[in-house]
Amino acid sequence: SSDEHKLNFKKSKEACLNYIQDAMLQKQWKRAAEFLTFYAESLEKDYSREHIGPSEMIWRIGTEILCHHSHSSMKEFSCFIEQMKTLGVKRYLKVCLEHVFHLLCNGQIDEAYQSLSLAESWRFGEQTAIQDKEMKLIQAYRGLLDYYSWSKQKNILLEHGLDGFADLSVEQEMHSCFRKAAMNLKEIIKIPGVWDLFVKCYVDLLEFYGDHNEAHQVLNEYAYNSRFPANPNAHVYLYQFLKRQGKSKKSLISALKILHDIVPSHELMIDFNTMLQKSKKRKKRRLGLEVIFAALDYAGSKENVKAWSCLARQVKQIVISEKHLDWIKQEWNSRKDWWPAFHFSRYLAKRNWQENKSLSYEKALVAGILLGKDCKYFKYVSHQGCKAQVKRFRMLKKFVNRHSPVYLRISG
Amino acid sequence: MEFPAALFPAYFGAGPPREEDGFAPAAGWGEHGQVLEGDPGPGRRQAQPAFVPRRGGTGEIWNPAEAAAVPVLPPSAGCWIPSPAPQDILYRNSRCRKLRVGKSGATLDFAKQLGHFFVDHPEDAFGSMGRLLHKNFHLGNSKLTRPARSSTIRMTALMEDIDRLEARRGCHRQHLASRLRWFSHLCRDWLFEVPLGLLADCLHEELMLQWSNLLFDDSLTGGALAWLPPRDTGSRTGCLVHPGGQAMNHLFFQDMVLEELPRAQGSPARFELSGRIQQVAAARVDGKDFVGVRSDYHCGVWRVPGRTGAAPTPLQVIRTDVPASCLTISPHLPGELAVCTQSGTIYLWNVETGLQKLRHDPQTMFFRDHSPWRWSDFTAHPRVLSCADRTGLQCLDARAPKKCHFDLFKVGEEAGCQQGERVVLPMYLGRAHPSQYLVTTQFSVYVLDERLPLVPMLKWAHMMKAPPLFAHLMPGDSRRSHKLVLGTSRTQELLLMQYWGERWRGSQSACQLAGTPQKLHSIAGCLQHLPTQLPHRQHLLQQRLGAPAAGLAAALQEDGTCNSMLVFQLSEAGDVFCQRLTHEAACAPAPTSRDEATTAPGSSPLFEPPASSPLCSGTAALRYRRWLRALSRGYREAPQNIWPPSLSQRRLFTRKELEGPTGPSALQRQVRQWLRQVMQEGSRIQHWEPLALQPVALPQPPEPAGGQDPLSTRLTAAWSGDWEQWWEDRTSFSLVQRQRALRERRRRQKRARARQSLSASFTSSLTYQSELSELSDAGPLLLSPGRPPIPSQEGSSPPGSPPAGSPPASPAPDEALLSSQSLRSRGIPKERRKTLRDYLSVWAEGPPDLPDLPGSQASQLCIPSSQSQLSSASQTRRKRPRMGF
């Protein structure tokens, strides 16, 4: 009966697919390709109602095989993709986009641009939400390529400009590239998403043409719009823009403060701390201490010498001035039950001493103040330092010994 | 920590997952995902931008060194008891299978399991009723004597029917067991004392649980195998921590030397625990290894000191009221662990300060899901823990768990999830990058960065047939990719995938998937390479090797120029297998891919002759031989588990059939006598007397004795002239013979008829009895289809007096037993009296009489009669209201 026939056909189709998968997962591309030729038959009797039908599978598997097969060429690949584009209307844009990615990764920028333009002009009935997104991405990538050609022409122009020679046609072309790029890039960055690449390029364009307000607005939107994910890069871009614009310390600090709230372990926190330490305001210096303590909470900055030296410097300052010891005390309170094991164990003292002397110096200073001179870390490092007759370690020992009452005040 | 300067473009949406998707077999292939501008190189921009794809970049090439995984440890002593298989609890019936085609739902064999209860716990099920009735039931073969007959019935035939039923399983003519059905009809509502509804509810619940466990058993999440790498860079001795023993309740710390194949060194440190080990977790903090062990109600932690050979020290054990579902060890602080229980509680467990409850929420986080599974792991911040359920992950600060938390991963549009997708295993990838996190679902793997929550840095459809419950990370560095091995339980799949992380010490870039994923050997895969075994041993081996995987560990071994990777896999049977992969760039200069070796499109390693596989390399083959020998020895030592195939005769033949003739026949006696005589004389028997056989050879005209065949006798007679005389002799002889034979036959027929009528009248007496028990219900008499109608006078014979010709076995005493007064006096409630009466009246009928008939006759005669009995009972009962009306 036809039902049975369908069932058998389905079974053999599945078996064939299993063979293909098996071969691919063992990197036997040639074998997989042979099986795929059999699998192509499943297109003729496509009874399936699964969302990934045989045609999509052939596209996916075929692409993968052609990417890895030893005898495949770019031409064959493009030929295959062209066939795949005609196989399913719903998938047309996705196949185009993936093809463009493949071309871009292989350095065929011009072909990719052509393919993008072609895909952009494609129309078929009403677009689904996904197709709409794919179309937007296609436009955005075209905008990106336009930006690259703009920047290429800009470089040419700048070089020639230095020579005192200006080409009007190059300049015109550059402006038309700018218009095309700006239009497409502007569209995509309105939609919530991660658009680091597109935002950077768009801001670069705007800055070149002196539209700083628009650039600032775009970056603000990208960083602070709540519909967008909390992308640390958005804040970094904003901070860098503000810095480039020579904006006031206050605005820089407020930008970094928000970054600190999102990602306390970010590498910019060291800059932030230095900036705050220099501040005249007590509140800011207090924030600085908080920032550097928080940064050192994370496993990733455990061996960050810069961060440790920032902390050591600020702690030393406070100890010497004997003002605001309560700041240290407050910060230390929430950490004293786990920092000793996390940062100042004997094992780490040994390892830090072996691997990085300056790290162990900074850490020993902090340990000596926070945990007193009997702390394992400090004892080990200062002992080793004195043994190795390094001057600064002797100074360190003296300093900690002199300020040992501080420890009592902090821990008490 | 540096954050990548630019991330791959991605849309971000909030809300529930999209509807359209489902499991797709090839979803992980052929996509680049997105592209990003690569490093422009030092100095100024290049003329053309270089792009890198999110997926499809180049990765390292690792080639398997052997054709199959090789056992690393001898098989655990004692037999392994396999966990229930689908066929144990599913209903298997052709009709049912037809129904199920197209539907995904399975039918649980509820009836069989309930039956098992009655067989396994007869004392609970039938205890008191059995005691009540045991005087009245006779199970022996002997006939009942008269006084006993009054109150006792024989159950032997019923027992035989039950036995036969076993033997007849799968037979189409199951209606033959109608006697049993009848019995169950009669007594199913009073024979056992267990409240059936309650029992059925409990059983059903348990069956559902077992079935869902079979579909997906999350108690193994995380895996029960851990590898403690060598301490110093030069050392090659690591430690394998694995469970073992019959109930998997022994914890072993086995030192292993990494050679071409890892080799066990010395005897393992061994701890006996009070529960099955579900998970073994390990982490190295400050140069010390901490090993956490989770069983259902206990969690324990061990410390393995730095030097090799030193015994591990148990530190602490906690007991939970609800099964624990997760145990992870802090990679930051020594002696700190995270524990979750199925009640939705998360604890931070410090060996020194004890347990700190961080959260208690029986509800899932983002949407409602029934699974009580919870998981927790550590993050880049030692005080911040992640907590997960099937719907997503949150991070919470242990210092203020109620106030400070954020969502790390949500099953929803944020991560582009599919409908029905659920979190299976979250894992902190701190050794690769301090802020990265792995989340596996049944469809995809995600790499997350806790600095940009909700948006996956990497997403890839893994296409594995079962959800990956185990994962092992082998961190790379700025030059080497991070390697991740994913493992499933039931299908034993192992998948090696590589990714380039955000390189936090070198130049940073966004996460990319490197190379294509690679399938590694599973334990069961070695079966095809093993020498052919005897069928039953092959079956055992198949079962043993096909046991679900229970854990996964891996080690990278750098050995001068040659890099190799060792992947260990643990099975539920306690076997640990290992496979080695070699890094191609470093080890093998010939870049020929394996692909070229295979030729025909139909060929797969499955069909390759084992001789061509590199498994026959000495060490591996030797390992296998040893392992197989130890395994078979283990099975031989415990023979109680393999029953020798036996066939019960009682199921094939009735007792009567099996009973031989009562004594030696006359012929046998005669022959014996001859033999004895001949032996005494020391002579020979020339030929057996053919005449002695004559009663057997009835139909043939017997030949006169004389040592000559009839032809030669006749010829001799003809030759001598008295041929006529010969003919005379012969006919007269045969006439006598024939007459005798005829007489004999008639006698037999007579006897048979007598018996037949006897049984017929007996049945009718039974109908009369049931009639009697119905008292006023004198329904029409039953006509059984297979027999001539019963004479009407039988029906009209007065109650109390048995019809003529009925045997004395017709139970007059039963009447007393069945009378309402006697039943009442025995304390049997009114509503049960009739059932009991029915039952007893039926079973008073004679299984003792039936076996007298040949089997075929019995089935024709007595069984339809019992059916008709049944129908009569229902008939009369149905009629009652009409009569009263």
Tell me how far apart the alpha carbons of residues A183 and A177 are, in angstroms, rounded to a whole number. Answer: 10
Query: What's the DSSP call for residue B600?
Result: S
Average pLDDT over residues A183-193: 92
3-state secondary structure A343-379: HCCHHHHHHHHHHCHHHHHHHHHHHHHHHCCCCHHHH
Under 8 Å between Cβ of A307 and B1: no
CA distance A207 to chain B (A): 18
Predicted local distance difference test score (pLDDT) of residue B613: 44
Strand boundaries in A132-196, DSSP class E:
193-194
Which three-class secondary structure state does DSSP give residue B862? Answer: helix
Question: Are A341 and B495 inside 8 Å of each other by CB?
Answer: no
Tell me how far apart the alpha carbons of residues B738 and B731 are, in angstroms, rounded to a whole number. Answer: 10
CA distance A80 to chain B (A): 13
Of B14, B20, B331, nearest to A51 by CB-CB distance is B20
Angle at A289 between CA A287 and CA A291, to 5 degrees: 70
Establish if A107 touches chain B: CB-CB under 8 angstroms.
Answer: yes
Under 8 Å between Cβ of A310 and A296: no
Question: Are B31 and A263 inside 8 Å of each other by CB?
Answer: no
Of A35, A38, A148, nearest to B49 by CB-CB distance is A148
Q: Which residues contact B366 (CB under 8 A, 6 or more apart)?
A: B391, B392, B407, B410, B411, B412
Question: Are A297 and B381 inside 8 Å of each other by CB?
Answer: yes
Q: What does the block give as tokens for A323?
A: 């003002």
Tell me how far apart the alpha carbons of residues B505 and B477 are, in angstroms, rounded to a whole number. Answer: 8
Of A350, A349, A365, which is closest to residue A310 (Cα–Cα)?
A: A365
Integer CA distances (angstroms), B340 to A358, B29, B318, B351, B391, in order: 41, 36, 12, 16, 16
Q: What are the extents of the domains in chain B?
A: 56-81+216-585+615-634, 85-94+104-165+175-215+646-676
Under 8 Å between Cβ of A57 and B621: no
3-state secondary structure B396-462: EECCCCCCCEEEEEECCHHHCCECCCCEEEEEECCCCCCCEEEEEECCEEEEEECCECCCCCEEEEC
Of A34, A148, A348, nearest to B286 by CB-CB distance is A348
Question: Are A105 and B53 inside 8 Å of each other by CB?
Answer: yes
Question: Are A50 and B517 inside 8 Å of each other by CB?
Answer: no
Sign of the torsion angle spanned by Cα atoms B526, B527, B528, B534 = positive
Q: Which residues contact B452 (CB under 8 A, 6 or more apart)?
A: A194, A229, A230, A231, A232, B7
Chain B neighbors of A263, CB-CB under 8 A? 3, 451
Predicted local distance difference test score (pLDDT) of residue B636: 65
Angle at B628 between CA B623 and CA B632, to 5 degrees: 155
In the predicted model, is pLDDT for residue A2 greater than 80? no
A255-264 long-range contacts, CB within 8 A, separation 24+: A257/A287, A258/A223, A259/A232, A259/A235, A260/A291, A260/A294, A262/A230, A262/A232, A262/A235, A262/B451, A263/A232, A263/B3, A263/B451, A264/A291, A264/A294, A264/A295, A264/A297, A264/A298
Tell me how far apart the alpha carbons of residues B264 and B72 are, in angstroms, rounded to a whole number. Answer: 7
CA distance A294 to chain B (A): 10
Of B617, B882, B620, B876, which is closest to residue B770 (Cα–Cα)?
A: B876
Of B266, B196, B214, B245, which is closest to residue B86 (Cα–Cα)?
A: B214
Place of tokens 């995904």: B104
Q: What is the largest CA-CA distance in chain B?
A: 139
Of A35, A197, A348, nearest to B9 by CB-CB distance is A197
Backbone angles phi, psi at B187, to 5 degrees: -120, 10
Which three-class secondary structure state does DSSP give residue B801? Answer: coil
Predicted local distance difference test score (pLDDT) of residue B308: 62
Average pLDDT of chain A is 88
Of B12, B49, B381, nearest to A193 by CB-CB distance is B12
Of B340, B312, B309, which is closest to residue B324 (Cα–Cα)?
A: B340
Q: What does the block give as tokens for A128?
A: 């689904």
Tell me how far apart the alpha carbons of residues B510 and B500 are, in angstroms, rounded to a whole number. Answer: 8
DSSP β-ladder status, B153-154 and B137-138: parallel
Cβ atoms within 10 Å of B711's Cβ, excluding its own: 8
Which three-class secondary structure state does DSSP give residue B544? Answer: helix
Under 8 Å between Cβ of A381 and A360: yes
Tell me how far apart the alpha carbons of residues A297 and A264 are, in angstroms, rounded to a whole number. Answer: 9
What is the homologous superfamily of the domain B56-81+216-585+615-634 according to CATH?
YVTN repeat-like/Quinoprotein amine dehydrogenase (2.130.10.10)
Question: Are A31 and B287 inside 8 Å of each other by CB?
Answer: no
Nearest C-alpha in A relative to B378: A299
Predicted local distance difference test score (pLDDT) of residue A193: 93
CA distance A404 to chain B (A): 27
Of A38, A52, A200, nearest to B26 by CB-CB distance is A52
CA distance A145 to chain B (A): 9
Ramachandran class of B560: left when φ > 0, alpha when ψ lies in -120 to 50, beta otherwise? left
CA distance B381 to chain A (A): 5
- Read off the amino acid at residue A241: F
- Read off the amino acid at residue B190: W
- Return residues 267-286 of A near B (CB < 8 Å): 267
Q: What does the block give as tokens for A139?
A: 């436009």
Predicted local distance difference test score (pLDDT) of residue B411: 92
Which three-class secondary structure state does DSSP give residue B790? Answer: coil
- pLDDT digit string (tens) for A341-385? 999 999 999 999 999 999 999 999 999 989 888 889 999 999 998
Chain A neighbors of B333, CB-CB under 8 A? 338, 341-342
Tell me how far apart the alpha carbons of residues B29 and A65 are, in angstroms, rounded to a whole number. Answer: 9
Question: Are B2 and A301 inside 8 Å of each other by CB?
Answer: no
Tell me how far apart the alpha carbons of residues A206 and A210 are, in angstroms, rounded to a whole number. Answer: 6
Of A341, A357, A340, which is closest to residue A393 (Cα–Cα)?
A: A357
Q: What are the extents of the domains in chain A?
A: 284-411
Q: What does the block give as tokens for A176?
A: 């038309």
- pLDDT digit string (tens) for B466-502? 999 999 999 988 778 899 999 999 899 999 999 987 6
Of A194, A244, A201, A242, which is closest to residue A222 (Cα–Cα)?
A: A194
Integer CA distances (angstroms), B620 to A154, B185, B278, B492, in order: 64, 62, 29, 21
Predicted local distance difference test score (pLDDT) of residue B128: 83
Which three-class secondary structure state does DSSP give residue B373? Answer: coil
Predicted local distance difference test score (pLDDT) of residue B843: 55
Angle at B214 between CA B211 and CA B216, to 5 degrees: 110
Cβ atoms within 10 Å of B691's Cβ, excluding its own: 11
Could you tell me the pLDDT band of residue A205, with boundaries at 50, 70 and 90? very high
Q: What does the block give as tokens for A117?
A: 């333009």
DSSP run (H or E) holding B485 = strand B482-488
**Under-70 pLDDT residues of chain B:** 1, 19-23, 39-47, 77-79, 92-106, 165-177, 307-309, 502-508, 586-617, 635-664, 686-708, 734, 752-885
Nearest C-alpha in A relative to B5: A233
Chain B neighbors of A109, CB-CB under 8 A? 48-49
Predicted local distance difference test score (pLDDT) of residue B686: 67
Nearest C-alpha in A relative to B350: A338
Of the listed ranges A10-24, A101-115, B83-97, the one predicted with least confidence: B83-97
Tell me how far apart the alpha carbons of residues A253 and A273 are, in angstroms, rounded to a whole number. Answer: 10
Tell me how far apart the alpha carbons of residues B457 and B781 are, in angstroms, rounded to a whole number. Answer: 84
Under 8 Å between Cβ of A252 and A242: yes
pTM for the full predicted model: 0.76
Instruction: Say what percent of chain A tops pLDDT 90.
Output: 52
Best B29, B437, B498, B508 member to test A by mutation, with max A CBs in 10 Å, is: B29
Which three-class secondary structure state does DSSP give residue B469? Answer: strand
Which three-class secondary structure state does DSSP give residue B170? Answer: coil
Tell me how far apart the alpha carbons of residues B580 and B578 are, in angstroms, rounded to a whole number. Answer: 7
Average pLDDT over residues A162-185: 80
- Return residues 18-77 of A near B (CB < 8 Å): 19, 21-31, 34-35, 38, 50-52, 56-57, 59-64, 67-68, 70
Chain B neighbors of A192, CB-CB under 8 A? 11-13
Question: Are A104 and B51 inside 8 Å of each other by CB?
Answer: yes
DSSP letter string, A209-263: TT-HHHHHHHHHHHHH-TTS---HHHHHHHHHHHHHTT--HHHHHHHHHHHHHH-
Q: A346-355 and A376-387 are packed helices; what angle lies between their axes, rounded to 10 degrees?
A: 30
Of B33, B451, B595, nearest to A232 by CB-CB distance is B451
Predicted local distance difference test score (pLDDT) of residue B131: 84
Predicted local distance difference test score (pLDDT) of residue B809: 41
Nearest C-alpha in B relative to A240: B5
B122-126 long-range contacts, CB within 8 A, separation 24+: B124/B194, B125/B192, B125/B193, B125/B194, B126/B191, B126/B192, B126/B193
Question: Are B595 and A31 inside 8 Å of each other by CB?
Answer: yes
